[in-house]
Structure 1
Amino acid sequence: ILAMKMKMTGGAGVVTDGAFRDSPACAALEWPIYLSGVNANRSNLYHYPAGRNEIISCAGVAICPGDIIVGDGEGVVAIPPQIAVQIADAAYEQELREQYIMELVSAGAGTIDIYPPNEATLAAFQQWRQAKGL
């Protein structure tokens, strides 16, 4: 119910180091919810809006107003806006390298010589990248 209310009032998602109950209903919202676990206990005393645009701590990480929150199936990161472009560029580069390495592995290459990539693999990656116009 609380998750639905947050969604309906414009919330972009939920990130908590606490637990939620009714996880199947939360999943059905098709709305990003990241939590540390599920618990059937009623917990309305612990999950309520206490403030907005304040510095908080979640799972030991300081989250500041304006931070960019990015989550996927592996977890959530908070990115300070002043380094967001650098982080996005680095993430793009890593994704490209891993795409190249996945192609090598799917073609039968072993991982010992290519992952993590050595100098020869990185040089071959640059050639692959140029050939693809990336």
Structure 2
Amino acid sequence: MDNQTTNISGHHATQTDLDLFKHIEENLYTAVISDSLDELGHRNQVLREFIRPLSPADRFAGWARTFSCVDMDYIPADPYAMEIAALDSVLPGEVVIASTGGSLQNAPWGELLSTAAYVRGARGAVIEGLVRDVRKIQELGFPVFARGIKPVDSKGRGAIVDYNVPIECAGAYVCPGDLIFADYDGVVAVPAAVLPQVIQLATDKVSKENGSRADLLRGAYLKDVFAKYGVL
């Protein structure tokens, strides 16, 4: 990998990006994004059910900055070199999303990486494996989703070997620059090529769901509401 090229890939979030993130975070939810992806034939873009928020209120949308991690059983000469380069590559408006190949051998994410990502303008992190320093991360207010918690260091157990490359993360294929959206229900990765269609479909469905909810609360029968709005 050419790190010089990778470090300048992506872009700082524009006001248009920030407006999009705000719209998603305030008006949409992962379930309706998933439904919209299904409608467009992208049926495997939701991360596995074991990826959970460290805090129930954690919620974010942003562009994917991918990390690829692997296990190891030795301590290399410079164990944190790629980790440092990867974190320093993060741009405002991005979400760190790290694949681990399903490993539970180490915790590749903790307080200091959260702090580094936070000050660089990252909107959150999604870690396929384990994390540590959870209380400190919660105090920082940086939203993190992960598979579990374990206090072991990555040194000699695992390492970041590449970044800003396509990855498979908890069952979903993610490319740099895809949209990552996470809320209490889980995490969804929206391919950049279909993002406008997905947002439009999801926004339209939310409007219909709001109408359905209102009618149901007024006592309407579900079959009548479904006939009217066509959503469940």
Q: TM-score, normalised by structure 2?
A: 0.45
Residue in 1 that maps onto 2:132: 21
Query: Does 1:106 find its partner at 2:217?
Result: yes
| Pairing partner for 1:84 from 189, 195, 204 | 195
User: Does residue 41 in structure 1 map to residue 151 in structure 2?
Assistant: yes
Is the deviation greater in 39-48 or in 90-99? 39-48
Which letter does structure 2 place at the counterpart of 1:54?
A: V
Residues matched between the structures, number? 119
Structure 2 gaps of 5+ residues are 1-110
Larger RCO (CA under 8 A, 6+ residues apart): 2
Alpha-carbon contact 2:130-2:150 (below 8 Å) kept: no
More strand by share: 2
Match of 1:122 in 2: 229
Q: What is the CA-CA distance between 1:47 and the residue it aligns to?
A: 7.2
| CA deviation after TM superposition for structure 1 residue 92, in Å | 0.3
Q: Structure 1 unaligned runs (5+)?
A: 126-134
Q: 2: CA distance between counterparts of 1:12 and 1:49?
A: 20
| Displacement of 1:112 | 4.5
Q: 2:102 — aligned with what?
A: none
Does 2:182 correspond to 1:71? yes
Deviation, structure 1 residue 87: 0.1
Q: TM-score, normalised by structure 1?
A: 0.73
Secondary structure of 2:142 counterpart: coil
- CA radius of gyration, larger in: 1
User: Could you tell me which amino acid in structure 2 is paired with residue 40 of structure 1?
Assistant: K
Identify if the C-alpha distance between structure 1 residues 24 and 35 changes in structure 2 by more than 3 Å, giving closer, same or farther: same
Distance in 1 of aligned mates of 2:173 and 2:167: 6
CA distance in 2, matches of 1:3, 1:35: 13
- For 1:90 and 1:47, how far apart are their aligned partners in 2? 40
